[in-house]
Structure 1
Amino acid sequence: MNTSKNRRLVILMYPRVREMDVASVNDIFATANTILPENRRYQIACLSTVDAPQLDGMYGMGLRTGPLYSTFRGEIDTLIVPGGMGNELTEPPEKLLKWMRKQGSSARRVGSICTGAWLLAQAGLLDGRRATTHWNQAHLLARDFPKVTVDPDPIWVKDGNIYTSAGATSGIDLSLALLEEDHGRAVALEVARQLVVFLCRPGNQAQFSVALKEQKTENTPLADLQIWMQEHLAEDLSVPSLAQKAAMSERNFQRVFTREIGTPPSQYVERIRIEAVRRKLERSTQSMEEIASACGYGSADVMGRSFSRQLSITPGEYRSRFRSSGIMAEV
């Protein structure tokens, strides 16, 4: 944990920046300032790429800007580039890219949210590094910048002093992780509580869950069944039991579920149970037997075999590797 005094955190704004990205970063660190000692608070500044008192955000909200980036003087501890409309299509001026490169070498940390990764990549800050962005844009980032190893799955990635995160709300997760680096888990968790963040997600977590990924059916009974399954993992989720609950024959249930959800019911059950195991390994101190029971496995050994088959790592190895990444506690 870094214990140096006041740090200057800069959010770089530009026309059609995503309003949520700016607000979420500002809220996390401004809220932290309300509970930190005065000499350890953040100096938050919004710099602009345009010389104007206000700019329009991605969805039309007027945003008051700060000084023009090129006129700013002073050290920057952490620079965050939010996402926005058209970043992947825009060629920024060389003057801005030169300034970004300077910050990449002088700032303690440089980070991006969503398509803000394009500006980092255009400045060469992601060359030879692993990075992420919004899952729907990841293939474009990989295409445009072959020197970057783009991983579309995590909600945020750290490679050296460069941090990249996925879309929208992942900026909250990245900000909480940066806050934890600076002031420890207790402060980050208190800020999460203050902002009523339901879960503090570690960077290795996938951008969207199995349930969300497969929640595409318009078949209301099956959609309701998916929700019920998530809430009753410890119960009998065999095909006969689920077919009975859906008021279908087993054969018809298999056919309809696979067609609507895109995966057979038995595979879907295993995936949502493994996802639940991962969450508990990351965020709880429960024993393996307790986790196995809560997630619908007959024993820790059965859970371990299923977990290893899906992820090629044992539950114990997974816990030791990922419990220290980001903030693990449930709030």
Structure 2
Amino acid sequence: MIQHRSGTDAVTVTVFVFPGVRLLDVTGPIEVFSSANEFGGRYRVQIASEDGAEVTTAAGTRISADLAVDDVREPSDVVVIPGGPSWETLIKDDALLDVVRRLHEKARCTASVCTGAFLLAAAGLLDRRRAATHWRHSEQLALRFPSVQVEQDAIFVRDGRMMTSAGVSAGIDLSLALVEEHCGAEVARAVAKDMVVFMQRPGGQSQFSIRSQVPHSRHEMLRRVLDEVATNPGANHTLTAMARRAGVSVRHVTRLFFEEVGTTPARYVEQVRLEAARVLLEAGDDSMPVVARHTGFGSPESMRRAFVRHLGVTPGAYRNSFRTTGVGAGEPESQVILR
């Protein structure tokens, strides 16, 4: 857990860049932390390359560095290790891995975005730790680094000083989580709204959307229950099961949900499952039964009823809306309203 800084201290974030880095892995977190400064945060963001020179990203865009890694004298509160499409080559670069280790040694928290987890794993920093990466590469991470416990469905994972996140945009979720930890939930929500995250990624990632909509609970037990639902929506989350895991009565759990979340446990669970299904439908081609099973709906029909009730479209129509921007197409069969 990162220690909270005093209100007068700046939080230093060092973002490491290298040739072939993925652009959004770098700019996503930077945008979150810099935006937080507009709402009461005190972040100092610096970009470091191995020798202080500018680098060319995988997209061909050049990024200037503020300093060389050897010039990072003071400990950073957060070091961000982004990924790149050429991660198979990067993990064989001993000099690059040594730089990652040196940055980690001076960091209170080291966080990776997308395939940046491969750099951390190759540097030996994820041994016997839980980690996440892009869903397309999670099996490779597990195969190449068997000492790493890969959580394939997680949006981001914290294990001690290490944080790892899923696909490129999940770096935004991870950064928002850090802003919440450093500055509080209100600042994190303000940043999310300012970045219009929900409009760009309808439903978003379940952990982020729940954080944005639900006030920070004063009760550790309820926070644990909320996190369990968000991280594993396909599990058994009946009211009885949640109360049993929390070690309290069904009545007590129900009362806390009304007081802290503003809804019933059943409605909360359905909301999380709906968001998880949206993420899967946006990201891949899994069949409807597979999506329904993984997200806890059980059957495509149950999932369909939830989609129609909350979004006004079927899961199939929702998925189709992400296969094209619609440019040059005729009038769509139905319009997905981005809430």
Q: Normalized against structure 1, the TM-score is what?
A: 0.62
For 2:301, the equivalent position in structure 1 comes to: 269
For 1:213, the equivalent position in structure 2 comes to: 280
Residues of 2 paired with 1:187 and 1:170: CA distance?
18
1:55-113 deviation digits (Å, cap 9, x = unpaired): 22112122222322133322211001112121133235444434433443442110000
Matches within 5 A, 1:34-183: 34-36=38-40, 41-52=42-53, 54-91=54-91, 93-183=93-183
Residues of 1 paired with 2:94 and 2:177: CA distance?
31
Residues of 1 paired with 2:117 and 2:45: CA distance?
21
Equivalent position SS for 2:197: coil
Residues of 2 paired with 1:294 and 1:119: CA distance?
40
Q: Offset at 1:161? A: 1.2
Residues of 2 paired with 1:124 and 1:62: CA distance?
29
Q: Which runs of 4+ in 1 moved over 4 A?
A: 203-208, 214-218, 259-266, 271-274
Residues of 2 paired with 1:273 and 1:119: CA distance?
43
Residues of 2 paired with 1:141 and 1:71: CA distance?
31
Residues of 2 paired with 1:31 and 1:76: CA distance?
19
For 2:266, the equivalent position in structure 1 comes to: none
1:90-141 deviation digits (Å, cap 9, x = unpaired): 2354444344334434421100000000111111110000101000001111
Moved more, 199-208 or 180-189: 199-208
The runs of 5 or more residues in structure 2 that have no matched partner are 199-203, 209-229, 234-274, 293-297, 312-338
Residues of 1 paired with 2:287 and 2:100: CA distance?
47
For 1:14, the equivalent position in structure 2 comes to: 18
1:24 and 2:91 matched: no
Residues of 2 paired with 1:264 and 1:24: CA distance?
28
Residues of 2 paired with 1:273 and 1:163: CA distance?
36
1:229-284 deviation digits (Å, cap 9, x = unpaired): xxxxxxxxxxxxxxxxxxxxxxxxxxxxxx9756699811334678x8xxxxxxxx
For 1:184, the equivalent position in structure 2 comes to: 184
* Cα gap change, 1:22 to 1:272, in 2 (>3 Å): farther
Residues of 1 paired with 2:24 and 2:178: CA distance?
18
* Contact 1:21 1:168 (8 Å CA) reproduced: yes
Residues of 2 paired with 1:173 and 1:191: CA distance?
11
Q: Offset at 1:151? A: 1.1
Residues of 2 paired with 1:63 and 1:169: CA distance?
19
* Cα gap change, 1:264 to 1:80, in 2 (>3 Å): closer
Residues of 1 paired with 2:278 and 2:206: CA distance?
16
Amino-acid identity (%): 33
Moved more, 87-96 or 125-134: 87-96
Quick check: which has more Rg, 1 or 2?
A: 1
Give the counterpart of 1:3 among 5, 14, 22: 5
CA RMSD of superposed structures (Å): 3.5
Larger RCO, structures 1/2 (Cα 8 Å, 6+ apart) = 1
Give the counterpart of 1:202 among 194, 199, 207: 207
Residues of 2 paired with 1:264 and 1:97: CA distance?
37
Residues of 2 paired with 1:215 and 1:48: CA distance?
34
* Cα gap change, 1:59 to 1:153, in 2 (>3 Å): same
Equivalent position SS for 2:115: helix
For 2:227, the equivalent position in structure 1 comes to: none
Residues of 2 paired with 1:42 and 1:147: CA distance?
34
* Cα gap change, 1:16 to 1:160, in 2 (>3 Å): same
* Contact 2:114 2:134 (8 Å CA) reproduced: yes
* Cα gap change, 1:95 to 1:61, in 2 (>3 Å): closer
Residues of 1 paired with 2:64 and 2:154: CA distance?
32
- How many residue pairs were aligned? 237
